[in-house]
Structure 1
Amino acid sequence: MKRVYSRVIKEHFALNRQMLFLMGPRQAGKTTTCQGLKKEYVSFFYFSWDNYQDRQLILQGPRALAEVIGLSTLKRSVPLVVFDEIHKFSDWKNYLKGLYDTYPNQLHILVTGSARLDIYKKGGDSLMGRYFMYRFHPLTVAEIVNPVPREKEIMTTPKKLGMKRFEALLKYGGYPDPFIKASTRFFNRWRHLRFQQLFQDEVRDVTRVQEIALLELLAKLLKERVGMQTTYESLAKSLRVSNVTVRKWTQILHSLYYCFEVRPWSRNIARALIKEPKYYLWDWSEIEDPCAQAENFVACHLLKAVHFWTDHGLGLYDLHYIRDKEKREVDFLVTKNGEPWFLIEVKISSNHGISPALPYFQKMTGAKHAFQVVFDLPFVAKNCFTASSPQIVPVLTFLSQLV
């Protein structure tokens, strides 16, 4: 299956000498995408920290790896060198810096990982100026129908994703294996194993947390509270641990791409909530409640869009929600360069009419667009971003215009 990131990688190295970091959850397709580049490069090398022989080679230092690649020999083209999970190496930053600085313009370096890289860790050697980063997300509607990066944020001509594939995406999630298989038995086994690996293997790779059972319980609490305002205090009370501990554990779950938070937007909003974030899962298929799953599904698409647009250099984008003390709320606000751009309210059904909060907060924020995205209307082949007043929009149309 073609991924938008394949073209991104090729375009990056055609224009830049900097390393490219590709970060995202396990089994989202990073390795498959990188391996698919073999046919694009005359000289291609792949090294995984999880492979014993590759690990031993890396530990010998940049010079040993350069000999294996053959950097002392004149080559017709610059080789692509992929490092997978190298962040598990305690001295990975100095290693990459040494390789990059010692052999300038002699190789393209692509780094992939399934945990967020602490690029600016105190005491570590900075890689500033030596890399660019893309955050790698699972499949989404727009990537399935049109896996091509664009120079503008919005695809102005929506493309239809067939209902059968859309239902598979919603049910089985955006991780390629279960989506492509579209088998309930495979999905159940895959999901169980993935959750097991997350808490039995990956947590131990990045932290010394001993209370794995409590961390699992925190994950389940966050899943139950998807789309709700949540405080560290309430989570700490449920788990009977300190606020500091819950904050630390939540950051661990963030770093392993289990969940993400959406913070409130308060500028120009009278009596706005300013503290409580809402949490969503990277894998919406985990959620059983249809309304919560629909909101999480759209949240993941929006997060992917703001990450991609920012990483692609189109501007600085972020994702928020709005709620005031009168309990008026809009599910999401996308900002561009610090200014409100468009509002999104998610509904399963189109029978309720436009939420009064949409026009209210559009006026308060000055957002250019306001959409009520619904799941029960058929695809419409029209650019919904031409409208400035609040619109009820089919989810298939809206999401096909993102990334």
Structure 2
Amino acid sequence: MNRYLEKYIQKDLKRKIVLLTGPRQTGKTTLAKMLKENFDYFNYDNAEHRLSLMAKTWDRSRDLVIFDELHKMKNWKSWLKGIYDTEKIPPSLIVTGSAKLDAYKKVGDSLAGRFFEFRLHPLDMKEIKTVLGTEDLEGKLDRLLKLGGFPEPYLEDDEIYYNRWKRSHLDIILKQDLVDLENLRHITSIETLIQLLKKKVGSPISYRSLAEDLQCSDKTIKRWLSVLETLYVVFKIPPYHKNISRSLLKAPKYYFYDTGQVPDEPGMKLENLVACSLLKEIHF
């Protein structure tokens, strides 16, 4: 499946490092591997790959080198900056990751002026029409509302499969990505917070109310929500007001990147899907 960012990334790879982020399992690695036939691939979660990265032993004759989850390396930006400054391009360099890269504390030096960043979102109706055609758009929309826009479950088109995928997807985020990002011990509470947010899609969120439900402080709730944003589980929409200071005081709304996570209430699902589509256009 050709994704909407492909031709833009292809162009930018000729000049800069490309950072490709977005929710887990939106197809970032698959997209990266489609960019060039002749590539080297390294995943920082793989012990053998980590040794190769430390030794910088990739094949310089390749057209592309893919660094997956490189942001988990200490001082990864300094390391990448050194490679770019001394070796230049080619080979082209792309870094993929399932979290907002600047949130990691292992940042090191700045990559300013050396990269372009892209965020790969799940499928929406605009992309589905382009990739899968315009036949039975109503059926495709119903599937999108029911199963969400992550490519694997959407293309599988099986609700039982999606329910298994959904549980596994969230489990990996909570037990792997969350631990990598911060030393949080309250995974059960964060899981409960996610369940509470699902019921409040489209409604202004009261931090105080959530804090009372989870028996913690407002500050803790805000921190947990920030982590969920960093891991691309939810995103925040602040209220609009001509007076910016007033808008900061009003309660925001939170939406899920996976519309399939939203309770089976048509209005909530549709609002979440529209919010996702608008955010995708803004990031594009």
Taking structure 2 as the reference length, the TM-score comes to: 0.92
Deviation per residue, 1:131-166 (Å, 9 max, x gap): 11111101111112226xxxxxxxxxxx67622222
Structure 2: where are the runs of 5+ without partners?
none
SS at match of 2:67: strand
Instruction: Give 1:29's aligned residue.
Output: 27
How far did 1:280 drift?
Answer: 0.5
How far did 1:284 drift?
Answer: 0.7
Change (3 A) 1:273 1:85: closer
Instruction: Give 2:269's aligned residue.
Output: 293
1:136 aligns with 2:120: yes
The residue type equivalent to 2:100 in the other structure is R
Q: Is this contact kept in 2: 1:266–1:274, CA < 8 A?
A: no
Q: Is this contact kept in 2: 1:170–1:285, CA < 8 A?
A: yes
Structure 2 Cα separation of the partners of residues 120 and 187 of structure 1:
30
1:163 aligns with 2:116: no
Structure 1 Cα separation of the partners of residues 256 and 24 of structure 2:
14
1:223 aligns with 2:198: yes
1:117 aligns with 2:127: no
Instruction: Give 2:42's aligned residue.
Output: 47
The residue type equivalent to 1:297 in the other structure is L
Q: Which runs of 4+ in 1 moved over 3 A?
A: 119-123, 271-274
Instruction: Give 1:3's aligned residue.
Output: 3
Structure 2 Cα separation of the partners of residues 23 and 92 of structure 1:
15
1:212 aligns with 2:187: yes
SS at match of 1:264: coil
Structure 2 Cα separation of the partners of residues 35 and 243 of structure 1:
43
Higher mean alpha-carbon deviation, 222-231 vs 172-181, is at: 222-231
Structure 1 Cα separation of the partners of residues 190 and 104 of structure 2:
26
Q: Is this contact kept in 2: 1:120–1:126, CA < 8 A?
A: no
Greater relative CO, 1 or 2 (CA 8 Å, sep 6+): 2
Instruction: Give 1:243's aligned residue.
Output: 218
Q: Is this contact kept in 2: 1:22–1:112, CA < 8 A?
A: yes
Structure 1 Cα separation of the partners of residues 18 and 140 of structure 2:
32
Work out which of the residue numbers 74, 80, 85 in structure 1 matches 2:69: 85
> Greater helix percent: which structure?
2
Change (3 A) 1:135 1:206: same
Work out which of the residue numbers 42, 53, 56 in structure 2 matches 1:58: 53
Deviation per residue, 1:230-251 (Å, 9 max, x gap): 1322211221111111111111
The residue type equivalent to 1:221 in the other structure is L
Instruction: Give 1:13's aligned residue.
Output: 13
Deviation per residue, 1:162-200 (Å, 9 max, x gap): 222222122111001110010112111111111211212
Structure 1 Cα separation of the partners of residues 107 and 145 of structure 2:
43
SS at match of 2:118: strand
Deviation per residue, 1:206-245 (Å, 9 max, x gap): 1101011111111111111111111322211221111111
1:185 aligns with 2:180: no
How far did 1:120 drift?
Answer: 9.0
> Greater strand percent: which structure?
1
**Backbone CA RMSD of aligned residues:** 2.3
Structure 2 Cα separation of the partners of residues 272 and 51 of structure 1:
45
Taking structure 1 as the reference length, the TM-score comes to: 0.66
SS at match of 1:69: coil
Give percent identity, aligned residues only: 40
Structure 1 Cα separation of the partners of residues 248 and 26 of structure 2:
34
Instruction: Give 2:279's aligned residue.
Output: 303
Q: Is this contact kept in 2: 1:145–1:161, CA < 8 A?
A: no
The residue type equivalent to 2:68 in the other structure is D
How far did 1:290 drift?
Answer: 1.8
Instruction: Give 1:156's aligned residue.
Output: none
Larger Rg computed on CA atoms: 1
Structure 1: where are the runs of 5+ without partners?
148-158, 309-403
The residue type equivalent to 2:267 in the other structure is C
The residue type equivalent to 2:17 in the other structure is M
Q: Is this contact kept in 2: 1:85–1:113, CA < 8 A?
A: yes
Structure 2 Cα separation of the partners of residues 115 and 9 of structure 1:
19
SS at match of 1:146: helix
Q: Is this contact kept in 2: 1:18–1:131, CA < 8 A?
A: yes
